[in-house]
Amino acid sequence: MKPNPPPKQHAGAHQLRIIAGQWRSRRLPILALEGLRPTPDRVRETLFNWLQFPVRGARCLDLFAGSGALGLEALSRGASELVLVEKHPKAAATLQTNINTLKALNAEVYHQEALSYLDQATIPFDIIFLDPPFHHNWLPMVLERIQDKQLLAPQGYIYLEYERELELDLSQWNLTIHKQLHAGQVHCVLAQLSSA
């Protein structure tokens, strides 16, 4: 008689670990969705070392929030406000559940498509996290909208994750590369709004 196969891992079995700050080492459930790529711990650690001082008191936008790894890490490390935008209904619901679990009153989840959120946004952000689905050419459209609507505060930062083969000239959106690294096939860039 054959043994029963092991039970399939359900979506809630996947977890996100917050690295540092007030929720250090807290683990939160995330969904196992196709295309959902939480930023690895090692990359997040590096990014937030780069952002050590700017993140405190910052108003942050996690535009393709997914698991919320970037935005929740920023909030844990002292960001004053966080907006998470996610169009997938189940991912958005999980984000809201995790926000409620953390009792994060200064975070808001928008179940919305990225460009439609930017169209209605009016208040600039100090830090914007952009980690869109790969191979869909989201970044030029999003960066154009952010620039046109002046949604990045003076001296603000944008963090981008995109496929390594994609070539972006960030200067066309008035951005200067501050730091960058490669993590496998992913290019990670922290850019800053250029001085006038």
Amino acid identity of residue 105, one-letter, is L
Burial 83-97 (b: 16+ CB within 10 A, else e): bbbbebeebbebbbe
Cα 154 to Cα 193: distance, rounded to the nearest angstrom: 7
Contact 164, 127 (CB under 8 A): no
Q: Which neighbouring-strand residues pair with 20? A: none
Identify the CATH homologous superfamily for domain 11-193: Vaccinia Virus protein VP39 (3.40.50.150)
pLDDT tens for each residue of 55-108:
899 999 999 998 898 999 999 999 999 999 999 999 999 999 999 999 999 999
Contact 147, 173 (CB under 8 A): yes
Contact 78, 55 (CB under 8 A): yes
Mean pLDDT of the chain: 86
- The count of other CB atoms within 10 Å of the CB of residue 180 is 12
pLDDT at 30: 74
pLDDT at 135: 86
Cα 63 to Cα 91: distance, rounded to the nearest angstrom: 13
Contact 104, 82 (CB under 8 A): yes
Q: Which neighbouring-strand residues pair with 81? A: 59
Domain residue limits, the chain: 11-193
pLDDT at 38: 59
pLDDT at 37: 57
- The count of other CB atoms within 10 Å of the CB of residue 32 is 11
pLDDT at 1: 47
Residue that has been written with the tokens 């070539």 in this structure: 167
Cα 120 to Cα 181: distance, rounded to the nearest angstrom: 32
DSSP assignment of 57-102: T-EEEESS-TT-HHHHHHHHTT-SEEEEE--SHHHHHHHHHHHHHH
Question: How confident is the prediction along the chain (196 residues), in pLDDT tens digits per residue?
Answer: 444 443 333 333 488 888 888 878 788 877 765 655 556 677 778 888 877 778 899 999 999 998 898 999 999 999 999 999 999 999 999 999 999 999 999 999 999 999 999 999 999 999 999 999 888 899 999 999 999 999 999 989 999 999 988 889 999 999 999 999 888 888 999 999 887 5
pLDDT at 4: 44
* Cα→Cα distances 84→1, 10, 123, 169, 175, Å: 50, 24, 15, 26, 22
pTM score of the predicted model: 0.86
